[in-house]
Amino acid sequence: MVQHETSSPSPATGAAEPLAQPGNAWIARASSPVQTATSGPLAGLSFAAKDNIDAAGFATTAACPAFAYQPAQNASVVQRLLDAGAALHGKTNLDQFACGLNGTRSPYGPVPNAIDPAYVSGGSSSGSAYVVATGQVDFALGTDTAGSGRVPAGLNNIVGIKPSKGLISTHGVVPAAQSVDCVSIFARTVDVAARVLAVAQGYDAQDPYARRLPMATTPLPAAFRFGVPAPLEFHGDALAADAFAQAIERLRAQGGTPVEIDYAPLAGAAALLYESALVAERYAAVRPFVDAHADQIVEPVRGILLAGKGYSAADLVDAQTQLRAFGQQAAALWDGIDVLLVPTAPTHYTVAQMLADPVVLNRNLGAYTNFVNLLDYAAISVPSSLRPDGLPFGITLIGPCGSDWQLADLGQRYHHATGLALGATGAPLPPPAPIAALRPAATVDVVVVGAHLSGLPLNGQLTERGAVLLRAGETVPDYRLFALPGTVPPKPGLLRVAPGQGARIAVEVWRMPATAYGSFVALIPPPLGIGTLQLADGSALQGFVCEPLALEGAQDITHFGGWRAFLQARATAT
């Protein structure tokens, strides 16, 4: 049933021909796709699994032939996908023992970049990203400890979901650092990746780190704040810096407001992964094999794993305490942002460059990924642009644990705004699809007539609550408008009158989250209040009204047709 291959395998049965040479992306291919169900939410989709994830009938090698074993059963996540109708086409190459971010650390050979084979694919889930980017399968499983589910996505122009820890079972996965490992999902669209996540997720008592997580099920606010780290390091890559600047503007166009954040606590946490006793978990993951067969492990993987032997239990406790301290500092960042934006990778390297300097350049690729699992965040990497030199540039959206569906929703909107082709296939993006796990957030439409109009002094009371402008409009011709004396800032009063006694008054309709409506209404001073306004388009919405007694002696400004026109006329007169 299984054909083991180490180079240039043929495309999977039924999959599109790749546009680039397959290189060493596959370790084993099935002579025919493995299926256990022909119906289900993933029916018709093909997939591959990184070769540190068990699939019955395939040896699990973790890219180390001497380590290979035949699993008796599928990993929990593989079984879930098969039961949902997906077809498994084989196992993919990786950085040995999932230790690396570049895709060159395998005895089966480096995996090339799908867009330009002179460059690295990113790792450790290099083969999984490649076979998705080249159209050989619809999606693939990777793993992510320090960025392995994101860096290959960013470097190959595809989507990579790194779910919240514990959301997808890691039972049947060879661990890299088990307390921070995740199974990740690669696809050419967010829609497919999100559909896979919906099937793959689920509590599994066989996984010691599985959790029943509360998941956010409403989208991020239409007006949201996104953090941008400062300073940012692109290692001299001006094209990457320009691409990230463009990404900021594109996310701003999606309704985001950039907020500069201090990257120091995130960088501090990231450094602990390899530069502290936390690396002992890497050694512990495969300790019996390392102790007996260290000579069968490629460098620099061997050096990294063996470094874990030199730390004491007290060293590990110290490192964990340092990590908690960085986490406390980083937690304060979320008071001012809804999501964090980072480059998926700060630059690209050729295979030759990586082989010449494998430790430093690998560390550079993880500059904006290493902290995410350590601090218990969720993330999604999506394509952002093709640089002038033709290389892909990806961005990663990061959110708190449980924000997976919110990130998928924003990531899909962002991806579709790019207009990029799918991976390396040249095929156009299909229409976006709703994220099924999300339900629309409850909102309230509010009609404003005076100082809350866009650009006027009190408009910030709306925008700071996430309100967005829906439209400008007019009331029915049954209202009169008055300038209230002595108000600061100046405000009008709107009064409903008998039919034929009023005029149409210009208004704006703003939509705000229902959760913010109460605090907004609490700010309204008498004699103003909230009532139901009849608009010329036939709608009846909540909006500003005024107590009639307060209008005695007030200037009637109805003939101006609105508060803004009155202010402009007054400014011209003075």
Active site residues: 50, 124, 148
Say how far apart CA 574 and CA 570 lie, in whole Å.
6
Question: How long a stretch of residues is the chain?
Answer: 574
- In this structure, are residues 445 and 470 in contact, taking their beta carbons and an 8 Å threshold? yes
Query: Residue 339's closest CA among 246, 409, 272, 243?
Result: 409
Contact 158, 186 (CB under 8 A): yes
Of 395, 543, 409, 555, which is closest to residue 490 (Cα–Cα)? Answer: 555
With tokens 């959760």, the residue in question is: 515
In the three-class reduction of DSSP (H, G, I as helix; E, B as strand; rest coil), residue 92 is classed as strand
Give bridge partners of residue 101 from the DSSP assignment: none
Alpha helices in 469-534 (DSSP H): 514-521
Contacts of 425 by beta carbon, 8 Å cutoff, 6+ apart: 16, 19, 133, 134, 135, 188
Residue 266: CB atoms within 10 A of its CB come to 28
Look up residue 83 and give its two tokens.
Answer: 């039961």
CA dihedral angle for residue 124, residue 126, residue 129, residue 132, rounded to 10 degrees: -140
Q: Are 119 and 350 in contact (CB under 8 A)?
A: yes
